[in-house]
Amino acid sequence: MRLYIKQKVFSFKDQFTVKDEKENDAFYVEGKAFSVGNRLHVTDTSGEEVLYIEQKLFRISPEYDLFQNDDKVATVKKDFNLFANNYTILGPDWHIKGSITEHNYVIKENDQDIAHVSKKLLSWGDSYSIDIYDESHLGILLGIVIVIDCVNQKNN
């Protein structure tokens, strides 16, 4: 499955749409503007919540928990490093390889790619694509990519 997110169009306080390969709406992401810490709700086009993202407060580096059906399924943590832009995924045994700042990286389970993020030029502007190879993890993978992009934009 391939999804698209328009580059630099959102923050944790905004709403935005994730598109599919045919540029149809696939998911909606809504931030909570007046909450303590950043919170995002990801819903499908029928309004069903796919994922809830919540910032952990009082951390040296940004850290976010991802929830599905009120169960914590993963934590995305920006590594404290002045010279690199690395993230750790806790929960599933996944890791990230590649250039996060260039939107060209893969999420791996063991040595197998389960998602690939790459920058694309589309008719509706600079975007990046998310190729998800294991759709059983669709919500978690989408959440990881959203958190990484929001944190990177906030830091730039």
For the chain, which domains are there?
A: 2-155 (2.40.160.200)
Per-residue model confidence (pLDDT) at position 150: 80
Q: Which range among 12-21, 51-60, 122-131, 135-144 shows the weakest confidence by mean pLDDT?
A: 122-131
pLDDT at 8 over 60: no
Per-residue model confidence (pLDDT) at position 29: 92
Confidence at 149, pLDDT banded by 50, 70, 90: confident
Per-residue model confidence (pLDDT) at position 93: 92
Per-residue model confidence (pLDDT) at position 10: 52
Per-residue model confidence (pLDDT) at position 12: 57
Q: In what order do the strands lie in the sheet with 39-44?
A: 87-90, 71-78, 63-68, 49-55, 39-44, 25-31, 15-20, 2-6, 125-132, 112-122, 104-109, 94-99
Contacts of residue 92, defined as CB under 8 A and 6 or more positions apart, other chains included, come to 73, 74, 109, 137, 140
pLDDT at 136 over 80: yes
Tokens representing residue 23 in the block = 């540029």
pLDDT at 33 over 70: no
Spatial contact of 73 and 140, defined as CB atoms under 8 Å apart: yes
Spatial contact of 57 and 36, defined as CB atoms under 8 Å apart: yes
**pTM exceeds cut of 0.85:** yes
Q: Locate tokens 């709700």: which residue?
A: 41
Average pLDDT for the chain: 86
pLDDT at 122 over 60: no
pLDDT in tens, 37-74: 788 999 999 999 999 999 998 888 899 999 999 999 99
Spatial contact of 14 and 102, defined as CB atoms under 8 Å apart: no
Q: Where are the beta strands (DSSP E) in the chain?
A: 2-6, 15-20, 25-31, 39-44, 49-55, 63-68, 71-78, 87-90, 94-99, 104-109, 112-122, 125-132
